[in-house]
Amino acid sequence: MVQQFPHALRSRIEEAVQASTSRDQISRSAVDVSERYRRVQGGSLQMKNLSEAMAYLVARLPATFSANARVMEEVARLLPDFSPKTILDVGAGPATASLAASMEWEAEQFTLLEPNKFLREVGHDFITPEISGNVSWVEKDLSGVSSFEGGADLVLASYVLNEVAPKSWGKVIADLWSKCRGVLIVVETGTPFGFSVVHAARASASTLDGCYVIGPCPQTGACPLAGDENRWCHFSVRVERSKFHKQMKEGAQLGYEDEKFSWVALSRFPATLPDYRVIGHPSLGKVIQLQVCGADGMAKTLEIAKSSPHYKQAKKCSWGDSLDD
């Protein structure tokens, strides 16, 4: 299934780039921005100018939005009664995660912490008009979380903790949790490093007051992939590419791209966890093979024959889906 980025928003962004006198510079920046995100291993990914910020909207926003939208869908499924009215988006970029959240829940107040003025500018111009509810931009980075007054029902940290030194992950997660009245969602790149960030957040749950790990994990014990050098927990969402998107990304031929991402959701409310989470592409056939993480704390491959009562459900499963016995 191809994830659909809002077509009207995409058209507005692409028309603005095509009309810009800096189009050639934006095209060059798109290549550079994509390359920096593929190589992320800590350190700053801040946009250096408005051309880079616009390039981010074209080259990266559809993919990061789609990953966030997929995560929000899963959290809503895990907590069907959760209806956040206030959202705190830390390291908000151009409001990517907030946009995804606004399409899942009808929140009234969004507070976006973002230190980069170029991302705030393009976010204010293009993204926040798409969000129903009051949107407030605050010029602060992650260090400003502790000074944020009050709390929020939903706290978002999307593609941002990778910019923090690993030794500080525990403190940052604790600060985010202290502002969370409901659910904290962390999303990162689907790389070994991105997974290490997410795993650190998951591991912090045991030290946080009243904290439940509700997803994607089907269990709250040790992660079975954490010690595996050859595997890491990540998921994939297929993202539609427009013709202009392909033009802006050198060598792009296909009408889609696959965004790999890792995530974890920490909640103040318990959730009914699935028996399994699919952690790889299913292998379909007379016997369906599913790579899963199970409620027993094991990562394994399920083989589901056509005679199984679970065959129809398994046949519809995609990477990242939950599955029950």
In the chain, which segments carry CATH 3.40.50.150? 2-267
CA distances to 8, 36, 114, 219, 274 from 296, rounded to whole Å, are 45, 38, 40, 7, 11
Residue 149 is predicted with a pLDDT of 84
pTM of the model: 0.93
Residues 6+ apart with CB under 8 A from 213: 202, 205, 220, 264, 265, 266, 267
- Candidates 316, 283, 315; CA nearest to 301 is 283
Superfamily for domain range 2-267: Vaccinia Virus protein VP39 (3.40.50.150)
Residues 6+ apart with CB under 8 A from 151: 86, 88, 178, 179, 180, 181
Residue 43 is predicted with a pLDDT of 47
Phi, psi of 255, rounded to the nearest 5 degrees: -85, 15
- What's the mean pLDDT when you consider all of the chain? 90
The answer to whether 56 touches 47, Cβ cutoff 8 Å, is yes
Q: Which helix (H) or strand (E) holds 36?
A: helix 23-38
Residue 135, CB-side half-sphere exposure with 13 Å CA sphere: 25
Q: Hey, what's the torsion of the CAs at 130, 73, 37, 259, to 10 degrees?
A: -110
> Alpha-carbon distance 291 to 300, whole Å?
6
Which residue is listed with tokens 């502790």? 146
Which residues, in sequence order, are bridge partners of residue 262?
188
Q: What is the pLDDT of residues 28-63, one digit of tens each?
A: 666 566 665 555 544 456 788 888 898 889 888 999
Residue 150 is predicted with a pLDDT of 86
Residue 41 is predicted with a pLDDT of 47
> Residue 113, SS3?
strand
- Candidates 288, 256, 277, 300; CA nearest to 71 is 277
- Regions of the chain where pLDDT drops below 50: 41-43
